[in-house]
Structure 1
Amino acid sequence: VQNIRRRRLKMIIQRQHKFEWGNFLLSLLEVVSFCLLALGLVKLTFFDDPNLTDSSRITSSVAYKPLVLRPSASQSYYVKVKSTRNSDLSQQYVFYIEGKKYTVPSHLATISYEKDPINVTASALPFSRKALKQEDSRYQQAYVAIYTASYKNTAINGLGLHAGRQAKRFYLIRVPDSSFISKNQ
């Protein structure tokens, strides 16, 4: 903007012209390149959805925590499912880890109680089936696998203002069978 203004004033005062095609085309080129760069930065900042298996941009880890069995009047449970009756049909999962209560929306978690620890929802994330099987035997199929992906400190992530920030957190809640799930309607 300063360069356009300076050239325009120089054209008017020194050369005493109101319009020059060269000046106009150069200004147009500067405005178009600025808009393209601004759109690129907006895309990098707000619409960046990296591949979670891309090790050049993302670091990921999985932490395993044992679930705490909660007794109630009707049954003991590991996970309580709270359903809402609104238009988005969302649920919340309530569970306890090491004495702390966690409430997680259903789009950030899944419950697995089948023989295979990775259900359809969890298969979209890079969980290790072998590690989950080891945790099955260690915690008697009552644990939470917390997958966390963070952006690396790279130039592209820095331009998008993501460097060092969390990209994704997902909870795979593993219970022995469906009788350990309390459904709250």
Structure 2
Amino acid sequence: MWNYIGVAAWLLVVLYLIFIIWHIRARHLKMVVRGQKPGLTWLIDLIECGVLVLAVYSLVWAAWLRPIDYADSKVVAVKYDYHPLILQTGATRSYYVSVQSGNGTQPVRYFTYWTAGAKNQTNSRDADISDGTDPLTVKASVYPWHHSKLIKLDTAAEKAYVATMTAHYRKTFLNGLGMHVGHLAERFDLIRIPNETFLKVVPKQVE
């Protein structure tokens, strides 16, 4: 129901657009019939159009441009999941994660890792691999994490686990205006491995 705030707002903008088209046309026809000079008519036109542009920009900002603070519990509900990685036996060595570069102009890498009973795939936009002393990477640090929990998992899971953060939009006016309530705001996988020797790189094929 909260998302109907956004639906109603867009409907009002469409109705206002129809109104100003009619209003501008009627005003200009009346001016022509009466043989009046433009006077303040053009200023009124600009004001009405300016209000329309401002309203549209506000809705676009709420839906697509508004920055989200994932540490703000009033805006998003954040959930964490932790799963041990399953070691894969290769022809030459064992590994936890395989990495393959994507085709095209965007430097995207695709990660594949295994947890209990599941094969998982993600990409470098929504995940990062941690193989350093600290489990938290620079890229992952932009999201809120329980750092102490990650430190404990380093010992309990022998630095072989995936920590997944998912954030969903809460029921707020701005989230409703952007029609985001209940939708996924962000998902990020922090893939922890002991060191880079447990990473299998799949070479990109050259045509």
TM-score after normalising by structure 2: 0.77
- Give the 3 Å change call, closer, same or farther, for CA 75–40 of structure 1 in structure 2: same
Deviation at 1:55, TM superposition (A): 2.3
Deviation at 1:54, TM superposition (A): 2.2
Aligned to 2:129: 111
- Give the 3 Å change call, closer, same or farther, for CA 76–37 of structure 1 in structure 2: same
Aligned to 1:52: 70
Deviates more, 1:137-146 or 1:1-10: 1-10
Q: How many residues align?
A: 185
- Give the 3 Å change call, closer, same or farther, for CA 86–24 of structure 1 in structure 2: closer
What SS class does the counterpart of residue 33 from structure 1 fall into? helix
Which of 121, 138, 149 is equivalent to 1:131? Answer: 149
- Unaligned regions of 5+ residues in structure 2, if any? 1-17
Work out whether residues 161 and 191 of structure 2, in 8 Å CA contact, stay in contact via their aligned partners in 1: yes
Structure with larger RCO (C-alpha < 8 A, sep 6+)? 2
Give the Cα–Cα distance (whole angstroms) in 2 for the partners of residues 36 and 8 of structure 1. 21
Give the Cα–Cα distance (whole angstroms) in 1 for the partners of residues 24 and 131 of structure 2. 70
Structure 1 consecutive aligned stretches of length 4 or more whose deviation exceeds 2 Å = 1-13, 16-31, 83-90
TM-score after normalising by structure 1: 0.85
**Structure 1 residues 115-161: Cα deviation after superposition (integer angstroms, max 9, x where no partner):** 21112222222112101012222222111000111211111011112
What SS class does the counterpart of residue 144 from structure 1 fall into? strand
Q: Tell me if 1:161 matches 2:172.
A: no
Deviation at 1:21, TM superposition (A): 4.4
Which of 105, 109, 117 is equivalent to 1:99? Answer: 117
Aligned to 2:96: 78
Deviation at 1:94, TM superposition (A): 0.6
Give the Cα–Cα distance (whole angstroms) in 2 for the partners of residues 66 and 45 of structure 1. 36
Question: What's the RMSD between the two structures over aligned residues?
Answer: 2.6
Give the Cα–Cα distance (whole angstroms) in 2 for the partners of residues 179 and 60 of structure 1. 32
